[in-house]
Amino acid sequence: MRESIRVFAPATVANVVCGFDVLGLAVNAPGDEVIMRRRSEPGVVITKITGDDGRLPLDPAKNTASACVQMFLQHIGRTDIGVEIELHKKMPIGSGLGSSSASTVAGLFAINSLLDCPIKQDDLLPFAMKGEELACGFGHADNVAPALLGGFILVRSYDPLDVIKLPYPEELHTAIVFPEVDVPTRDARQMIRSKVLLKDAVTQWGNVAGLVSGLFMKDMDLIGRSMVDVLVEPVRSILIPDFHKMREIAMGLGALSFGISGSGPSVFSFTKDQETAERITAAIQKHLSTLSIGSQGYVSKVNANGPIILD
């Protein structure tokens, strides 16, 4: 049995524009790392967090990575076990890239692997959703499911939980830009109206069906034209600097789509190839720099694997 483990879990693009709380995909980078070591005393402690500028709680009951590990140990009846966790944030917090979800999934994958997998990887999902509940008040699965399972995920139902792995075109690329302004998911969720017009709902579910069909048919143009959000984006986009100008830049450079990643402020486009994705991130970042807004850019294919053991 291992004494320690180092795990990486990836960032994710949730919602995928039209699928609020039901669609998400994992990317190759960025992501978070967890180093977990056994210790002789029972219980879960956090010994170190790096890359968070002191923003995340060291209290194991409040940090999503450790709190979920505690829940997992209770569930499997092994509260006699003791582990210490180092969390290395290698991605921005409050970015709309599933930062809390990457940490949570890394922690859960680490403890399950350290104990020789007492439960199946898929069955870690409800624990990871509890982490989202702790982080933002609602246990949405559209970040944690792709972070845990890899790939492109549809959450068909929350009750009962029904999560489906979708196919996608191999050459699909994601161009992500994180403008360095903070948008906490909890706040961005509170902005959304709880009632919608039937005509908007019709547009939205037509687009979700169109996107899912496009993924199955590997029809890039259908994927692109389905990525329209009439429910959430009009409200949330006001939190994002020059959102509409960034869209104009991306679409002008050949993006298939443009929208908010998760609850923002990160934005992303789908493209047919890496070069187009790189041109788009560079141009958007250049535009943000003219507004004196720092940014991070990431280009990635869909990450089919989810979390991995580094050593």
Q: Which stretch binds ligand HSE (CB under 6 A): 160-168, 182-190, 239-247, 271-279?
A: 182-190
- Ranges within 225-264 binding ligand HSE (CB under 6 A): 262-263
The yes or no reply on residue 95 touching ligand HSE (CB under 6 A) is no
* Range 157-165, long-range pairs (CB < 8 A, 24+ positions): 161/125, 161/126, 163/122, 163/125
- Ranges within 122-141 binding ligand HSE (CB under 6 A): 140
Query: Which one, 102 or 253, has the nearer CB to ligand HSE?
Result: 102
Distance CA 161, CA 307 (A): 21
Q: What's the angle, vertex CA 182, arms to CA 109 and CA 132, rounded to 5? A: 30
Active site residues: 132, 185
Minimum distance from residue 30 beta carbon to ligand HSE (Å): 14
Closest Cα partner for 264 from 163, 164, 193, 192?
Answer: 192
- Longest Cα–Cα distance in the chain: 60
Minimum distance from residue 188 beta carbon to ligand HSE (Å): 6
Is residue 193 a contact partner of residue 201, using CB atoms and an 8 Å limit?
A: no
How many C-beta neighbours within 10 Å does residue 205 have?
12
Query: Which one, 112 or 263, has the nearer CB to ligand HSE?
Result: 263
- Number of residues in contact with ligand HSE under rule CB under 6 A: 14
The yes or no reply on residue 86 touching ligand HSE (CB under 6 A) is no
Q: Which of 5, 9, 10, 15 binds ligand HSE (CB under 6 A)?
A: 15
Distance CA 95, CA 76 (A): 33
* Backbone phi and psi for residue 253, each to the nearest 5 degrees, phi listed first: -100, 10
Minimum distance from residue 191 beta carbon to ligand HSE (Å): 10
Q: Which of 63, 103, 185, 276 binds ligand HSE (CB under 6 A)?
A: 185
Applying CB under 6 A, the residues found at the interface with ligand HSE are 14-15, 20-21, 96, 98, 140, 142-143, 185, 188-189, 262-263
